[in-house]
Structure 1
Amino acid sequence: MILVFGSSGQVASELRALVPDAVFLGRDKVDLSREADLGPVIERYNPDGIINAAAYTAVDKAEEEEDLALIINAQRPREMARAAHKLGVPLVHISTDYVFDGGGEAAFLPDAATGPLGAYGRTKLRGEEAIQKEGANCAILRTSWVFSAHGANFLKTMLRLSETRDRLTIVADQVGGPTPAAAIADACVKVVRQLKNEPAKSGIYHFSGAPDVSWAQFAREIFYQAGRKVHVEDIPTSDFPTPARRPLNSRLDCRSLSVFGLDRPDWKAGVADTLTKLGVNS
């Protein structure tokens, strides 16, 4: 049995469809901001593997709530890793491109120097470090620009705006790989199952959609596939200030994930699948 932390988020929702026999611990069952220690909770379920699909992801709000983000993104993952190590079961933990400073144009390798620009990235990096210190059989999957038919994400925001707007200004100097949540869920399951028998594969990996594009290019493809006539005007990040700084370069080198038999997913196909799930036809 796989134990999943998270229930209603994008990846957790896709995991529900993929592994319906898994046990999902959402906020209604385990509040990661309040739980004293996850160890006894995990030991009670005695799982064969653990997937952490829960996180504090409010990037801008984290600038004001870094302590809370640190509890959810670092302290709780540490407890998951400690319990996983004690039980001798694998853990897959989802992390983010925000652990990097976004400099340059080359894709970041998993062992590249980190340098988060804001509170969210700092807390996610602390979570990675905490997990590794526990010595668990664990794979950390850094991903980027997640989208799906669930929750709030860029694709759904673009569709909503296109209902009342025929022109939009979209940032064009941030580049990364949009990633379907369904592909992340599939990767998590395949990785956790392989780690059970091949703990030597533990480590940090990157998993993002291909090809790399800007937010503006991503938006154009969404509108094209959805049949929405919206003109997208490219703007620099400086024209769209936010409380938290975003990395300009979110390209992730995903080649090492081939040890699990995984390739970068085609995000354009992911857009088509998501639009179908949302009942949006071009």
Structure 2
Amino acid sequence: MTLLVTGANGQLGQELVRLGNDSVNIIGYGREHLDFTSLSQCRETVAAVRPDAIIHTGAYTAVDKAESDSDEAYRVNAIGTRNLTLAANEIGAKLCYLSTDYVFDGTASQPYNEYDNTNPQSVYGKSKRAGEVLLQSIGHRYFIVRTSWVYGNYGNNFVKTMMKLATERDSISVVHDQVGSPTYTYDLGRFLIELVQTEAYGIYHASNTGTCTWYEFAQAIFQESGLSMQVEPCTTEQFPRPAPRPAYSVLDHSAIRQNGLQDLRPWREGLRAFLKEMSI
């Protein structure tokens, strides 16, 4: 099976490329080789590679910057997804689109089901939702996978930031009123590769299982890594940001259960595995 991965220089894209094996040939393209905001480039590249499936991880992910740069966020996240969908349709390839917990408003008190109404509050969330809508409107064989709080070996992320701060200061404040599920790129990548080998099309929620606040996540990082740091809880209001974050974005994995797929391991186990790999 041949998989084409977009956004191959990104956090998840780099992880996916590394997960190729004898039975799954993974071709990763960053923006310099595939600008998916160009419909003609999408058509040419997909027709040349002729992948069995495309895993579309490329995205505009600057959440706060998107608030003042909405045209670019929509061009990348919505129009880019449409372009890849059209190109995939032309050769009969499957398309797997990575979406986000930010498509929800965060006012729920129980985990969001795949079929719950979306209500994104930020430009980033709205542009990712627009990508979902376009894919659902014109796609033939597609998967939409929403995930949350992603971290891994590549790029910048919360875990790396916390570990860096541990070398620079003795105490930090971390928000304690946002609840979600951290997701390790290795675990997410393995799930995506399993998923695109099926015909079980539709919307999926995929994150490491279990929940925590950012404050609890930070505490776990320091505990598991053996680093000394005083962590103080604070509120979202104490750290104002241009883009609103969902206060509660726990994702229910009903589609994974209903389709008999392997769920992702608990988030703390994923964190432990990541820290172990980082120390090798």
Shift of 1:206: 0.4
1:97–1:144 CA contact under 8 A, matched in 2: yes
Shift of 1:254: 0.8
1:3–1:49 CA contact under 8 A, matched in 2: yes
Once residues 240 and 33 of structure 1 are traced to their aligned partners in structure 2, the CA distance between those partners, rounded to angstroms, is 34
Q: TM-score, normalised by structure 2?
A: 0.94
Once residues 95 and 23 of structure 1 are traced to their aligned partners in structure 2, the CA distance between those partners, rounded to angstroms, is 21
1:239 has 2:238 as partner: yes
Please list, as runs of the form range in 1=range in 2, the aligned pairs for 1:37-116 lying within 5 A after superposition: 37-116=41-120
Please list, as runs of the form range in 1=range in 2, the aligned pairs for 1:130-149 lying within 5 A after superposition: 130-149=134-153
Once residues 149 and 114 of structure 1 are traced to their aligned partners in structure 2, the CA distance between those partners, rounded to angstroms, is 30
Query: 2:270 maps to what in 1?
Result: 270
The percent of aligned pairs where both chains have the same amino acid is 37
1:175–1:250 CA contact under 8 A, matched in 2: yes
Alpha-carbon RMSD: 1.5
Match of 2:5, SS?
strand
Once residues 276 and 8 of structure 2 are traced to their aligned partners in structure 1, the CA distance between those partners, rounded to angstroms, is 22
Q: What per-residue deviation string (whole Å, max 9, x for no partner) do you get for residues 57-105 of structure 1?
A: 1100111111111111111111111222222221111100000000022
The runs of 5 or more residues in structure 2 that have no matched partner are: none
Q: What per-residue deviation string (whole Å, max 9, x for no partner) do you get for residues 1-33 of structure 1?
A: 111112121111111221163111112212335
Shift of 1:265: 2.4
Evaluate the alpha carbon distance shift between residue 260 and residue 42 of structure 1 in structure 2; reply closer, same or farther with a 3 A threshold. farther
Amino acid corresponding to residue 234 of structure 1 in structure 2: P
Evaluate the alpha carbon distance shift between residue 31 and residue 89 of structure 1 in structure 2; reply closer, same or farther with a 3 A threshold. closer
Please list, as runs of the form range in 1=range in 2, the aligned pairs for 1:213-252 lying within 5 A after superposition: 213-252=212-251
Match of 1:62, SS?
helix
2:5–2:17 CA contact under 8 A, matched in 1: no
Once residues 177 and 45 of structure 1 are traced to their aligned partners in structure 2, the CA distance between those partners, rounded to angstroms, is 35
Query: 1:2 maps to what in 2?
Result: 3
1:171–1:214 CA contact under 8 A, matched in 2: yes
Amino acid corresponding to residue 105 of structure 1 in structure 2: S
Query: 2:31 maps to what in 1?
Result: 27
Match of 1:193, SS?
coil
Match 1:155 to one of 150, 154, 159? 159
Once residues 208 and 100 of structure 1 are traced to their aligned partners in structure 2, the CA distance between those partners, rounded to angstroms, is 15
Match 2:184 to one of 180, 187, 196? 180
Q: TM-score, normalised by structure 1?
A: 0.93
